[in-house]
Amino acid sequence: MTPDSLVTPIEPRDGRVARVMRSVTSQHAVHGGALCRIEVAAATSCGRQHAVNEDAHTPLDAAGPPFVVADGVGGGAMAELASRRLVAHLHARLAGRRADAARIEAAMLEADRAIAECIAQLTDAPGAATVVLCTPANLLGTRWLVAWVGDCRAYRVVPDPAGTVEPLTRDDTFRHLGEMPPPGGSPDDPARMVGNGATSGANVAVHDLAPDDVLALCSDGVHRHLDGDDWTRILRRPVGLAPRAEALVEAARAHGSVDDATVLLVHCSRLGRSKGHA
């Protein structure tokens, strides 16, 4: 499987066609293991301020864990290339192998160098990406590794009347890291990214998941425009996982997002357990 087979399709560069293609698109897949069933859905949409979608995510029809969302930084073709290459590289290094923090951190550093070298062969323009991924840490799917660089986010959502939404990541912004942004930058810009040397690995954490929990990975085109009520209201809907992913992107659009917007939802259930609507 080539790297380009592990990324979301490039949107057309022709302006007229790109406008037609700006609707939300989604994918859905189910991955079965020895002891658990992993259902996953992803939805993405190109923002009005971009000619192409600079987000990328795991192609669900071609790959299982890890599940990745990447957000290109820097604008244009190099941002798009960086996010696509990052998704492909992480799958090439992590898929089918035992996941741990050291392996993920090493894969991020390798991706950082590989993306920088690829872009340098094409242009002097910058290109990098922020990223979040999740992958099961045990065969039951009750423990998951979550890793990130930059300001893509992961949430654990319990779609019940209590409406529990728990952030699992902390943005690598200049503000959160106590660093000064460059001239013209904002304290809320990402200070860490992959592809331009601005990372020393990755943040990695392990989280336990209850049977009804849903993991949500997203780019900032989604999370900057949704609050906890939006997440729980949409994820409580008695419909499939893909329509709920689409609804989250559409809600971000309705709340003013003009950036590329991508969300990837994961629900893991033990085999033999009666299945609800999650």
> Torsions phi, psi of 39, nearest 5?
-105, 135
Cα–Cα distance, 24 to 247 (Å, whole number):
9
Res 224 pLDDT > 90: yes
- Is 276 part of any domain? no
- Is 278 part of any domain? no
Q: What is the pLDDT of residue 272?
A: 62
Q: What is the pLDDT of residue 5?
A: 35
Specify the CATH number for the domain of residue 137.
3.60.40.10
Q: What is the pLDDT of residue 99?
A: 84
Q: What is the pLDDT of residue 126?
A: 81
- Is 275 part of any domain? no
Q: 243 is written with which tokens?
A: 């329509």
pLDDT digits (tens, 9 = 90+) for 57-68: 999 987 789 999
Res 172 pLDDT > 90: yes
Contact 154, 217 (CB under 8 A): yes
SS in 3 state form for 198-211? CCCCCEEEEEECCC
The count of C-alpha atoms lying within 13 angstroms of the C-alpha of 231, restricted to the half-sphere facing its C-beta, is 28
Percent of the chain past pLDDT 90, that is, above it, reads 72
- Is 234 part of any domain? yes
- Is 155 part of any domain? yes
Tell me which DSSP letter residue 194 carries.
Answer: B
Res 86 pLDDT > 50: yes
Packing angle of the helix pair 228-235, 241-254 (nearest 10 deg): 150
- Is 277 part of any domain? no
Residues spanned by the domain of 209: 3-270
Other CB atoms within 10 A of residue 264 CB: 26
Total tally of structural domains belonging to the chain: 1
Q: What is the pLDDT of residue 56?
A: 97
- Is 122 part of any domain? yes
